[in-house]
Amino acid sequence: MSSDTVFPNTVFPNTVFPNTVDQLPTPSLLVEQSTFEANVAAMSSALPGDRLRPHVKAFKSTALAERLVEAGHLNFCAATIREMEGMAAAGMGTDLLLANQTLDADRLGRLVDQGHRITVAVDSPETVDAALAGGVREVLIDVDVGMPRCGVAPDDAGALADLARRGGLEVRGVMGYEGHLMMAEPDEKPAQVEASMADLLRASAAVGGDVVSAGGTGTYDVNTWATEIQAGSFCLLDTDYAKLDSPFDIALTVLATIISTNRNGWAVADAGLKAFGMDHGGPTWPDGELFYCADEHTVLLDPENHLAVGDRVRLEPGHVDPTVARHERFWVVDGEDVVDQWAIDLRHW
């Protein structure tokens, strides 16, 4: 294909779709197709079908989610109502879990009315009341399994389930997120996850139902107690999760252009901290060291002035979820070829 031809662009009809990476504007968010596909294949092999409930918060794209459906995963979870609405509108409302608390359940009730299967996490009488008032019919009891965030105390889970059932809700089971253990030491992680899940199983025994939903990319392989694992970061990965010994590799980079060089030993790329999630620190430049990030610039140390104005670099984000949320689209690439474009259509709230 010549460099002048363009792909039909169905996602962004008014945008010309370049077919080589060197034609892309910068900054652009790239997904290396073969790495993404290998990540999905590895996870689908470990956790086939409903054993995985992919978490859309990590990629916020219905186009990417459709690839997970093709891999056999029909049930998803989400962190925001906008993610739930977008997945339902895209036809992936088979079994959608809002793995979060909300008082704004009217929006979820409208999805129920449209025929989607919607479940919401609850951890208080107030969130039970909101689910009932909003017209949601199914809930999971969210249990505190050691990470200081949401979740009812394990010993209070049964009473909350009783309250929910008295109101008329179907309680499908429990969920609990052992997020504090994602990056635990490998030799300690299995025992720590087991202890955390013991709390969840005790709650499950009191609550009833057949769902025990837990886990993430950092514990998918050691959490053998959950009936389903909530993982999403494995699809694209980031430099933080890449520290773990796993079959997943970094598929996500930010493409940037060198727009300025300085003889004192640095070069400036045109993707700054507005193009990255910075809570895990700045991006990684595989060919050298990061100096610092400003709003629209990443300054790279280049002591021998190898970089020239016009060069392009691919920078690896520290944290996938908040990086993705800063961009409008993924450019799916195969090396230097652009092969597809996925809208990041589940952003905002």
* Positions that interact with its own copies (CB under 8 A): 25-28, 57, 79-80, 100-104, 123-124, 126-127, 144, 148-151, 153, 179, 257, 259-264, 266, 268, 270, 273-275, 277-279, 291, 293-297, 299, 308-310, 321-322, 325-328, 348-349
- What crossing angle do the helices spanning 157-167 and 189-207 adopt, rounded to 10°? 40
- Is 302 exposed, middle or buried (CB count within 10 Å of its CB: 0-12, 13-18, 19+)? buried
- For its own copies, the closer of residues 104 and 289 by Cβ is 104
- For its own copies, the closer of residues 117 and 347 by Cβ is 347
Minimum distance, C-beta of residue 136 to its own copies, in the bound complex (Å): 15
Minimum distance, C-beta of residue 197 to its own copies, in the bound complex (Å): 20
| Distance, CA of 217 to chain centre | 10
Minimum distance, C-beta of residue 45 to its own copies, in the bound complex (Å): 27
Residue type, 178: E
Minimum distance, C-beta of residue 87 to its own copies, in the bound complex (Å): 16
Minimum distance, C-beta of residue 259 to its own copies, in the bound complex (Å): 4
- Is 226 exposed, middle or buried (CB count within 10 Å of its CB: 0-12, 13-18, 19+)? buried
- Is 100 exposed, middle or buried (CB count within 10 Å of its CB: 0-12, 13-18, 19+)? buried
- For its own copies, the closer of residues 41 and 301 by Cβ is 301
- For its own copies, the closer of residues 93 and 283 by Cβ is 283
End-to-end CA distance of the chain: 40
In a 13 Å sphere around the CA of 301, the CA atoms on its Cβ side amount to: 8
Minimum distance, C-beta of residue 244 to its own copies, in the bound complex (Å): 18
- For its own copies, the closer of residues 75 and 257 by Cβ is 257
Angle at 300 (CA atoms; ends 296, 305), nearest 5 degrees: 130
Question: Hunting for tokens 């053998």 — which residue is that?
Answer: 224
Residue type, 179: G
Candidates 111, 261, 125; CA nearest to 141 is 125
- For its own copies, the closer of residues 40 and 299 by Cβ is 299
Residue 138 tokens read as 């199914």
Dihedral of CA atoms 120, 54, 320, 8 in degrees, nearest 10, equals: -110
Minimum distance, C-beta of residue 144 to its own copies, in the bound complex (Å): 7
C-alpha 261/C-alpha 189 separation (Å) is 45
CB 49 within 8 A of CB 73: yes
Minimum distance, C-beta of residue 79 to its own copies, in the bound complex (Å): 5
- For its own copies, the closer of residues 107 and 165 by Cβ is 107
- For its own copies, the closer of residues 51 and 82 by Cβ is 82
